[in-house]
Structure 1
Amino acid sequence: MGILPSLPFVLTSIAYASAIGLLSMGLNLTYLTTRVPNFAHATIGMIGAVVTLFLIDKFFYKPSWAIFIAGPLVGGAAAALFAAFMYVAILKPLADRGNTVIGLMIATFAVDIILLNILTLILNIVHGVHIPKLIGAPIAGFQPKIRIGSYIIDSYTVVLPLAAIVLTTVFHLFLTRTSFGIAMRASIENPDLASAMGVNVNLVYTTSWAISGFLAGAAGALIAFTFKGVDPSVSALIIVTVFAGSIVGGLTSVYWGLIGGLLVGLAEKLGTVLIDNIYHAYFVTNLGFPNVSLINYEKIMSLGLVIIVLLYAPQGLAGIDWRRLVTRKKSKG
């Protein structure tokens, strides 16, 4: 039995990790504005998945590259509108009335459950055009295939990492090269000072939530191709991984949130399979251990990584002084 996973699985794992990275980056962005963990973030991402399902059912029911543009753009826009509405209509009024962080966190739980039920209800009551039953419908077959050597792989495994690179680059340029992006950074770091200098902090925060929603919706639109069936309830599992990525990277940095999401996503997929292969190759075959699959216990990898990182870096990877660490190693070398 081979220890290393196949090329298609490696590419699938990278694609999954890329989506988790985008979601973790967006989660950190909302946390930096309100200091409230948004437990509805993954379900907001499911808006993108549901929109992509509808687009495929009505317009892209034959394999087409166009769905990889229409899905993230339309799904991301819909998720951005909902995220902005959530902040303006729910979280900000609650904060203005003096609710604590715990109260706002519970509010995100409530929004999560309400949105989850609404999306599920829509998929149950709406009749598809080319897909008869929308709830639980797989969409992996509605995409082109790519041949790499002797392998024929799903195109999302290449598109998703490329989309993550493009979205992260655009987001970085927006933050560093535009006046509004600079105002956003100033508002996040010191809202009182930014407000005194004439920055509309409320507009900046609303925009931050919209951007976070767009990143979530775009990730949801693409990661939907990995699902056995589009079902909003999968967000309950995804949010665990997203929070793990944000914590590993550090909640105080959007970029480290992306890196943390990538690490956690790879740990869940590649790490679990490697351990499972090693277990079967040595312990089951040679020592007669029980022949059980360890693949379904992937959350142990992500949550275990969270514990390890927090033990040595309570602020996540963002809290480590990497320059000092590298300088110390060079001096010792």
Structure 2
Amino acid sequence: MRKIGLVVLCVGVLMLCHLTFLSAKKVFLADEGPLRETMPAAKEQRRLVLITQDTQTPFWDQVATGAKEQAKKEGVSLEVWGTYGKNEEEFLKNIEIAIQSKVDGILIQGMDTPEFKELTKVKASFNGIPVITVANDVPMSESLRRTYIGSDPFEAGKLMADALVKEMGGAGKVVLMVDAEREYNQNERIRGIRSVLDDYPSITIVEGETGSARDQIITATREVMNREPDVDAFISVNAGNLGAMIEEISKRSQEEAYLIYSFDDGPESMTLLAQGKINAVVEQEPERMGEWSVQLMEEWLNGETVPLDPAGYITDVKIVKGDDR
């Protein structure tokens, strides 16, 4: 029985490897030659879909706005599918539906999980459906996405850290609030932040890990404040955690007692900045991301830009402080 089980396992692994190889082959062959054969008939309107985990947040609303405007210019059909509250199961189901519907292209918020990579690397590629990641990347080697449109998370982290160092005067204690399960985008932000702060011996970096649920974020914030009573600054690397973090901080003291930095892609980021509850955010160009993703998908489908740059197409970032608005 043990031998039979081993044989079955080996066959399964070989089949998966074969499918992955075929999918990768399709991707690279498509990038080498003209795409006229795979184009729909001249009168057919292409169907693109934008899939996100964070529907009805200011950031992703702007991505969708840019994508819709560009789709009108290009004369293509664009549907926007989203989930509420980072429903991973529903998000992955939407990808499955898009593949089964044989859409012409998928624009998607990258998710650094095995399930996401399986769908893009095997199923989408095997069916000849190009995938472009938007705002959150998953490297091409792991996802077989055509390209990435969005800011450089490493450079965004550096920009934030440079601004914080100036405001702190080059000394103090900084808490990085991070997710226990970190995706590629978050790891790159952390790497950028640390690349700057590590050059200052008078700055101490402390990490506070949290789960994704609101009560877990509140608990993690409370624990780090108990453990590090002399903290000077907080960085919420995942902007989605910002609201719960501020809620706990405000129970202890006024938010003004700390320097609090984050990014603009959380549902409450810009509101909290306008209210003076945080000091600064790294602001991206979500509308430009949406426009560019549709434009480049169309250029690829038309054979005008083949291959797309695997390193990605990078949008600008800037620091925005409360008194700038």
Quick check: which one's helix share is greater? 1
| Structure 2 length-normalised TM | 0.23
Quick check: which one's strand share is greater? 2
- Structure number with the bigger relative contact order (C-alpha 8 A, sep ≥ 6) is 1
